[in-house]
Structure 1
C-alpha cells in the first residue's frame, strides 16, 4: 500500500513548521534588559524589641502589685504585677509602632529577556 500525501498538505505543513521555528528563534534571540520599579518599604522601628514599653509596663505593674497582699503574698503580687505589666507594656508599644510606621522608597531592578 502506497500512501502519498497531497502536495498542498506537504506545503502547508512546511509553512507551519517554518513559522513556528521562526517565532522560537526570534524569542530566543532577545537581549536582556533591565526593568526597575520604585517600591515602598516599611522602616524597621528603632526599638524593635519593645524594651522601653516592657520596662515601663513592668515598673507600673510592680508598683500596682505591691499595693496588695502582705508578707510573702506582697512579694508574689509585686512579681506577678511586674511580669503582667511588662507583657502589657510590650504589647502596647508593639501596637503603637505598627500604627505609626514610617516608610521609605527603594528602587528594585531585575533583568528580563525581550
Structure 2
C-alpha cells in the first residue's frame, strides 16, 4: 500500500493541531510534563454582558461621522483624502469610545484559567 505525502502531511498537521488544542482545568494545576513544562492556573477578570464585543457599531458609526466631517474639508483630490482620513480616524475613535463605555458598564466575573507554561 502506497501512502501519498499529502495524506501523511495532513495527518501530521491534524495530530499537531489536536495537541495544540489541549485545554487544562484547575484539576490539572501543577501537572508536569516530560519536556519540563507544567500547568499553571490564575484568576482572570472577564466581562460577560457585552452584546458587541468586537465594537463593530462604534467603529461603523465613528467611520461614517468621520467621513462626513472629512468630506467637508478641501476640494478635488484633497477632499477624497480628507474623507478617507476622517473615516479612518472616526472609526478608531468610535471603537475606543464604545470600548470605554462597555468597560464602565460591564459585569465582570472572575474565572480560573489554566495553561501549559514552558520554562
1:45 matches 2:29? no
Q: How many residues align?
A: 68
Structure 2 counterparts to residues 17-32 of structure 1, below 5 A = none
Q: Does 1:88 align with 2:93?
A: yes
Deviation at 1:42, TM superposition (A): 3.5
Which 4+ residue blocks in structure 1 deviate beyond 6 angstroms? none
* 1:55 aligned partner: 60
Match of 2:83, SS state, is helix
Distance in structure 1 (CA, Å) of the matches to 2:68 and 2:46 = 40
| TM value normalised by structure 2 | 0.51
Which structure 2 residue ranges, 5 or more long, are not aligned? 1-44, 113-119
Structure 1: any 5+ residue segments left out of the alignment? 1-39, 109-114
CA RMSD across the alignment: 2.2
TM normalised by structure 1 equals: 0.54
Deviations 1:46-104 (A, max 9, x none): 11110000000000000000000100000000000000000000000000000000246
